[in-house]
Structure 1
Amino acid sequence: MAGSDVTALFRATTAHSPSYFTLGRAAGARAGEIVDFCIPCNPYFPTPDMFDRLGGRLREILTYYPSSADTITAELCRLLDLNPQTVAMGNGSTELITWIDHLLVRESLAVPVPTFGRWTDQPMETGKRVDMMLLPEARGFALEAASFVRFVRSRGSRAAVVCNPNNPDGGLLDRGEVLSLLDQLHDLDLVVVDESFLEFADDGPRTSVAQEAVLRPNVIVLRSLGKNFGLHGVRFGYLVANPQLAGRVRAALPKWNLNSFAETVVFMLGEHRQEYAESLRRVCRDRGDMTARLSGLPGLTVYPSQGNFLYVRLPEGADGAVLRDRLLAEHGVLVRECGNKIGSSSRFLRLVVRPEPDVERLVGAMEQVLYGRRVTAPPPAPEPAAVRPMLASVPGAAPPAARHAAPALRPAQSLAPPAAAVEPFPPRAVAPESVVPRAAAPLPPTGLEGTVVAAGVPLEGRLPEPGVQRPGLARAMTAGYTSSGTPAVDRLIPGP
């Protein structure tokens, strides 16, 4: 894969990752070999049979105009048991966010961050004040409804948005908390609950507040069909609100804003309810398996998620942009680095939940780039000396016996070509007095003294004694960890 051509595309955009098609064109003939952990699709739906049927009707779908949005909306509402007067369908949830901002947000909007970028970018593009409440990393980025209400009041915000589950961390408020928040913010011009990923939650249908939204004068619930059905390219989503609010948005939408693919899929759904439900169960199962697999990587923190993605913090010294570039260029694995998300940094990745074989490819690639070897399975044959690991040593583990000096992390601006062409990187000698503390908490002590080189700056670390069995990851990572007060986080990051 032409690494420099492909990865340069990420530096050409400031808001989102380049599209899969843009990456494919830049990668040339090997585009199909990219394993995508960036775009949060449902890998199990539509079924192969549905794709075959869509392919068989491709000429018809592309040739003719779709039916009116009212016709397509009526069929969707029949399937979901909704009143069409309370629903507006858009060409993707982003189109609906745009019209919500233009029609219903007057002067200011409050939103917790990090979150979906259009909820911060869209109002700012139209001159609104966006009040952003930073979600605390110490609580696993969990949103506390009462804290958000206090923030809204302190800022005087006139509209508010909550994503449930939140993107990128997958944090979920239960139904009672959302209803309490809506009660306390009943006097605002507008409150939006973005449930775009709620179908993937363990108890998603019973968590939704869509039925309550139709009874409230200032509430909109937003849903995304493209994410649920694994069809981002079709571009369709919908909102649920009381008839007056839904009608205002519906009246502003362009005629024929829904395409023939969207119509065809909506009219196929009634025949495939069981397959769709099974696809959601499989994603939930894969999320648990993928969480466990990634949690085995030393120094990596996996936050609890109820979406079809996982938010992870990289080990100390790892730069997400460098990791993203090398995973793509050297291993054909595409990940979402979160340095351009407000409230996040390049220390974090959002990784889409995928089936086990793809996860194994991801984990193996991350181990090679981060540590220079497999660390969660019996090591393979020795790697060529030309392969340069991203981290100087494996956090919480002894270095390989043959490796006497740790190579430094490559600068973020550089990009390694495929492994066979990489020149050996000489070790750096660093004086102890040049240690510079980092804002991020260092890894806790787990053994003998050692030195970790992070982005060219040495950090004091500790490595276990050779021959001593490494403890479980959570215990090794969190010796001295103080309970966050959030049970879900503490289960993944237990105390000593």
Structure 2
Amino acid sequence: MNIPHRAGLENFPPYRQGKTPADIDGLKAFKLSSNENPYPPLPSVMEAVAGAVSSINLYPDMAAGDLAAAIAERWQVSPENIALGAGSVEVASQIILAVTNPGEKVMFAWRSFEAYPLLVTTAGATPQPIPLTADGGHDLPAMAAAVTPETRVVFLCNPNNPTGTVLGAAEVDTFIRSVPADVLVVLDEAYVHFNRDADTAVGIDMFRKYPNVAVLHTFSKAYGLAGLRLGYAIASPELATTLRKVAVPFGVTSLAQQAGLASLQAEDELQERIDLLVTERGRVHAALLEAGLPVLPSEANFLWLDSGERTGALAALFEESALSVRVFPDEGIRITIGSPEANDRILDVARHAAALLAPLH
């Protein structure tokens, strides 16, 4: 059968899940390609999920009322400001569906989160990518200049995936004030818990200041709930209501809701794990620099190797060492910060890479 498909999809590959590697010659494999938290859920979170299993024959609370209330309390907003979905990527899809009409534009930096162009295209809108600066950051002046009457949404990924760069508060403030008030600016903060930059733009602050700002958060990264799919938007009550209209019914499972509630109650314990990952990020970053590899500073749970045309050769070294990393051909490599053992393996590869591929900078 030759079933017609939506125009434009042929131009975008499907979203690629990070590759799961296999052990090689006695080397334990590590998957560092999906920005997953290397640590299992906290015991209290696992207990909450186990307690919810006996009721999975029933539909979950579609409004996720208890979880929405807990998130609202966490950020000192109203539950009416919270819209949930199966991961922040699904909430991003809700935003595009809710705000754009066919042919209208959704702007984002590029390269940024791989799902943006696919979500935009499948919604019938038009992607509007704006190239990153030479140092891997958002070019906000160029983005502001590129806004047209057809631009309906702008995604700002902070820290940016895959480069790990941060948007400053002053520059984001200037950007928001420079775009029309009817353009929705979405601060996608999937990696906010790892961001230690004192001058960073803070989504909730921008939300309180500007009515055309929404914020995206996820439980997949710092909270370690990637397998349960849970994310949310903080938005105006009007937008949040519209997001619920286009959300997949019952998309937030009862297990995810209970895990989210338990995670919010265990943030002090989770912070210890976040702090450990941030410390490991600093250790790996410093060692990669010392080895002479072109690694950018990062405020996320990953590092970006700006390896350009050497990307293929460098990726092969990681693969030979039983490490799965995210490869962007002829652009660079994104490496998730994993356990100390996995990170030590990264540094072993770096030492070989420095000898085989120098100079990379």
TM-score bracket, normalised by the shorter chain, equals 0.7 to 0.9
- Cα separation, partners in 2 of 1:212 and 1:395, compared to 1, 3 Å: closer
**Do structure 1's residue 74 and structure 2's residue 69 form an aligned pair?**
yes
- Structure 2: how far apart are the matches of 1:319 and 1:203? 28
Structure 1 residue 310, shift from structure 2 partner: 0.8
Partner of 2:337: 353
Matches within 5 A, 1:180-199: 180-199=174-193
Does the aligned pair in 2 maintain the 1:226–1:233 contact within 8 Å? yes
The match for 1:201 among 186, 195, 198 is 195
1:296-331: CA deviation from partner (whole Å, max 9, x where unpaired): 333x201121111111123x76343x5445633x33
Structure 1 residue 15, shift from structure 2 partner: 4.3
Aligned amino acid, residue 88 of structure 1? A
- Structure 2: how far apart are the matches of 1:283 and 1:176? 28
2:151 partner SS:
coil
1:136 partner SS:
coil
- Structure 1: how far apart are the matches of 2:167 and 2:281? 18
Partner of 2:119: 122
1:23-65: CA deviation from partner (whole Å, max 9, x where unpaired): 47xx5999x9431211112335633x24652575474265554
Structure 1 residue 174, shift from structure 2 partner: 2.0
- Structure 2: how far apart are the matches of 1:289 and 1:18? 27
1:442-480: CA deviation from partner (whole Å, max 9, x where unpaired): x6xxxxxxxxxxxxxxxxxxxxxxxxxxxxxxxxx5xxx
2:358 partner SS:
coil
The match for 1:255 among 249, 264, 282 is 249
**Do structure 1's residue 395 and structure 2's residue 358 form an aligned pair?**
yes
The match for 1:338 among 318, 328, 331 is 328
Aligned amino acid, residue 345 of structure 2? R
Matches within 5 A, 1:304-315: 304-314=297-307
- Cα separation, partners in 2 of 1:57 and 1:132, compared to 1, 3 Å: same
2:266 partner SS:
helix
In structure 2, the gaps of 5 or more residues are 1-11
Aligned amino acid, residue 125 of structure 1? T
Partner of 1:472: none
**Do structure 1's residue 318 and structure 2's residue 310 form an aligned pair?**
yes
Does the aligned pair in 2 maintain the 1:214–1:241 contact within 8 Å? no
1:143 partner SS:
coil
1:53-87: CA deviation from partner (whole Å, max 9, x where unpaired): 25754742655543333323223323343211111
- Structure 2: how far apart are the matches of 1:232 and 1:36? 14
Does the aligned pair in 2 maintain the 1:175–1:209 contact within 8 Å? no
- Structure 1: how far apart are the matches of 2:296 and 2:283? 14
Give TM-score scaled by structure 2 length: 0.84
Partner of 2:84: 89
Aligned amino acid, residue 310 of structure 2? A
1:305 partner SS:
coil
- Structure 2: how far apart are the matches of 1:85 and 1:100? 16
2:269 partner SS:
helix
| Structure number, greater radius of gyration | 1
Does the aligned pair in 2 maintain the 1:214–1:240 contact within 8 Å? no
- Structure 1: how far apart are the matches of 2:259 and 2:301? 21
Structure 1 residue 188, shift from structure 2 partner: 3.7
Deviation beyond 4 Å, 4+ runs, structure 1:
27-30, 61-64, 203-206
Partner of 1:174: 168
- Structure 2: how far apart are the matches of 1:256 and 1:204? 38
- Cα separation, partners in 2 of 1:200 and 1:45, compared to 1, 3 Å: farther
- Cα separation, partners in 2 of 1:63 and 1:80, compared to 1, 3 Å: farther
- Structure 2: how far apart are the matches of 1:319 and 1:171? 20
The match for 1:221 among 195, 215, 218 is 215
Does the aligned pair in 1 maintain the 2:35–2:302 contact within 8 Å? yes
Does the aligned pair in 1 maintain the 2:29–2:322 contact within 8 Å? yes
Per chain length, whose mean CA-contact separation is higher, i.e. which structure has more relative contact order (CA < 8 Å, sep 6+)? Answer: 2
Structure 1 residue 275, shift from structure 2 partner: 0.9
Aligned amino acid, residue 193 of structure 2? E
The match for 1:327 among 318, 328, 332 is 318
Partner of 2:32: 37
Aligned amino acid, residue 301 of structure 1? P
Give TM-score scaled by structure 1 length: 0.63
Aligned amino acid, residue 114 of structure 1? R
Does the aligned pair in 2 maintain the 1:45–1:275 contact within 8 Å? no
- Structure 1: how far apart are the matches of 2:17 and 2:190? 21
Structure 1 residue 89, shift from structure 2 partner: 0.6
